[in-house]
Amino acid sequence: MALPIFKIYLVGLFMPELIDVPAPGVGTAIRGGVILYKYRSDIQAYWKKLQVMLGLGRVNVVVTGRAGSGKSSLTSLWHGEANDLAWVSPVAASTDVEIKPISIGDWTKIVHVIPGQNSRERILGMEVAFASKSCAEGVVHVVDWGYTTIRTSASVSALMAEGVDTIDKLRSVNLQKELNEFSEVCERIRNAAISGGLPKWLVIVINKADLFFNDLAKAESYYSPHGNSAFSKILSEKLTGVIGAANIKIEVVAVSSLTKKYSWNGVEISPQIVDVDLHRSYLRSFFDTVAHVAR
């Protein structure tokens, strides 16, 4: 939508450097307005980056999911910082909410990544992201089909003591915990949507597809909003069945943020995606899906 004429005039009057002429007149002011219009998404991006730097601005998109599912890795790729050669995938759990300006389609959004570990920061992060009056417009929920990374030696020991000594057993435990986490997220979306009308979209990201690429169809069916898996049931019982499926756009997209071995109790699973182009095409499809759903 074009700016009203008086605003265009004011822009030319007070920011002549934008239009590269010394004396402001109506013509130059209009040209200033045209330039502002042409570069509106760049200007908006600078504004969002500034807001993030200053710790201002409301959350536009929230990234949720269990600790170790790959939220930080995925968001770093999405943001672009992971293209830096100095970037290494996170070795430790995030302890605070990560806040990043990210281009989604034509616009830049402020994205909050909520740490998966139970902590004060996580609780506060969830409260802010799903507050009814300033709720995020969209949610990216990261799942990993049971291939959750267990990072602390205390967690490893506790699981081993419970007899979780194979990858299959670990995946069952992880999938159950993932359901609990998803249930909480659905409830928060539902409550926020009922009281404030947002969020408007949810993208379920099946991360770590490199580890189960040969079984990807099974994973996609498990996470489908239209299936009858335990996951699909939570989605319909806690969210779509309550607020109405028409009131929230839901997409499911598989992705492989990284290609990396997964190991447990001395057994390793190697990535099944070795083709770099294939790996990148899955990532691109995630970026495109979010851009599409967020329009």
Ligand X SMILES: Nc1nc2c(ncn2[C@@H]2O[C@H](COP(=O)(O)OP(=O)(O)OP(=O)(O)O)[C@@H](O)[C@H]2O)c(=O)[nH]1
Binding footprint of Mg ion on the chain (CB under 5 A): 72, 94
Q: What is the DSSP letter of 238?
A: I
Token duo for residue 231: 């996951």
Pick one of 78, 186, 257, 286: the residue that binds ligand X (CB under 6 A). 257
- Largest Cα–Cα distance of the chain, in whole Å? 79
Q: What is the CB neighbour count within 10 angstroms for residue 12?
A: 25
Q: From start to end of the chain, where are the E strands? A: 61-65, 98-104, 107-113, 138-143, 201-206, 249-254, 262-264, 267-269
Closer of 60 and 69 to ligand X (Cβ): 69
Rg (the chain; Cα; Å): 22
Pick one of 21, 43, 52, 258: the residue that binds ligand X (CB under 6 A). 258
Pick one of 60, 64, 108, 149: the residue that binds ligand X (CB under 6 A). 149
Is residue 24 near ligand X by the rule CB under 6 A?
no
Is residue 146 near ligand X by the rule CB under 6 A?
no
28 binds, options ligand X, Mg ion, none, Cβ within 5 to 8 A by partner type: none
Pick one of 12, 24, 32, 65: the residue that binds ligand X (CB under 6 A). 65
Task: Report in angstroms how near the CB of residue 91 gets to ligand X at its nearest.
Answer: 7
Nearest CA among 133, 132, 126 for reference residue 63: 126
Point out which span in 115-123, 215-223, 229-237, 281-289 binds ligand X (CB under 6 A).
Answer: 115-123
210 binds, options Mg ion, ligand X, none, Cβ within 5 to 8 A by partner type: ligand X
69 binds, options ligand X, Mg ion, none, Cβ within 5 to 8 A by partner type: ligand X
Pick one of 24, 32, 68, 125: the residue that binds ligand X (CB under 6 A). 68
Give the position of tokens 């959350």.
59
Spatial CB neighbours of 26, under 8 Å, sequence gap ≥ 6:
9, 12
138 binds, options ligand X, Mg ion, none, Cβ within 5 to 8 A by partner type: none
Contact yes or no for 74/255 (Cβ under 8 A):
yes
- Grouping H, G, I as helix, E, B as strand and the rest as coil, residue 205 is strand
Is residue 156 near ligand X by the rule CB under 6 A?
no
Contact yes or no for 259/279 (Cβ under 8 A):
yes
Is residue 116 near ligand X by the rule CB under 6 A?
yes
Residue span 75-114 as binding mask against ligand X, x where in contact by CB under 6 A, dash where not: --------------xx--xx--------------------
For 200, list phi and psi in degrees, rounded to 5. Answer: -100, -15
Q: What is the DSSP letter of 142?
A: E
146 binds, options ligand X, Mg ion, none, Cβ within 5 to 8 A by partner type: none
